[in-house]
Amino acid sequence: GESVGLHLPTLSVQEGDNSIINCAYSNSASDYFIWYKQESGKGPQFIIDIRSNMDKRQGQRVTVLLNKTVKHLSLQIAATQPGDSAVYFCAENMDAGNMLTFGGGTRLMVKP
């Protein structure tokens, strides 16, 4: 997709602050969404997911919010730590298949 060619936007936060990473998805028929975390030189790792019948889902220090009206997904990280520094990708999926469409990613930098 076109997001593949874009350089990653960067979010810089102070250690201990909360982080909010946003993602706009493209397909109103998508009904499953995932956030991945990718540390430098490694493969993406699953953080949290949410289905379209939910507006909010919480994990450990992370919360995902889904606004289907405006096709917007966000990842909130509480009390951000240096180990949270990574690139974060959202991905959407239609239940008819298991293809994921990835967003362009956001680089999170945590300042000590």
- Enumerate binding residues for another protein (CB under 8 A): 3-8, 32, 34, 36, 41-46, 49, 89, 91, 93, 95, 98-100, 102-105, 107
Residue 41 or 83 with smaller CB distance to another protein = 41
- Beta carbon of residue 102, minimum distance to another protein (angstroms, whole number): 5
- Beta carbon of residue 46, minimum distance to another protein (angstroms, whole number): 6
Residue 43 or 83 with smaller CB distance to another protein = 43
Could you tell me the CA-to-CA distances from 89 to 4, 50, 69, 112 in Å, in that order?
11, 14, 21, 23
Closest CA to 85 of 30, 24, 21, 31: 21
Closest CA to 56 of 41, 74, 43, 69: 74
Residue 25 or 36 with smaller CB distance to another protein = 36
Tokens 């405006």: give the residue.
70
Question: Distance between CA atoms of 62 and 79, rounded to whole angstroms?
Answer: 10
- Beta carbon of residue 36, minimum distance to another protein (angstroms, whole number): 8
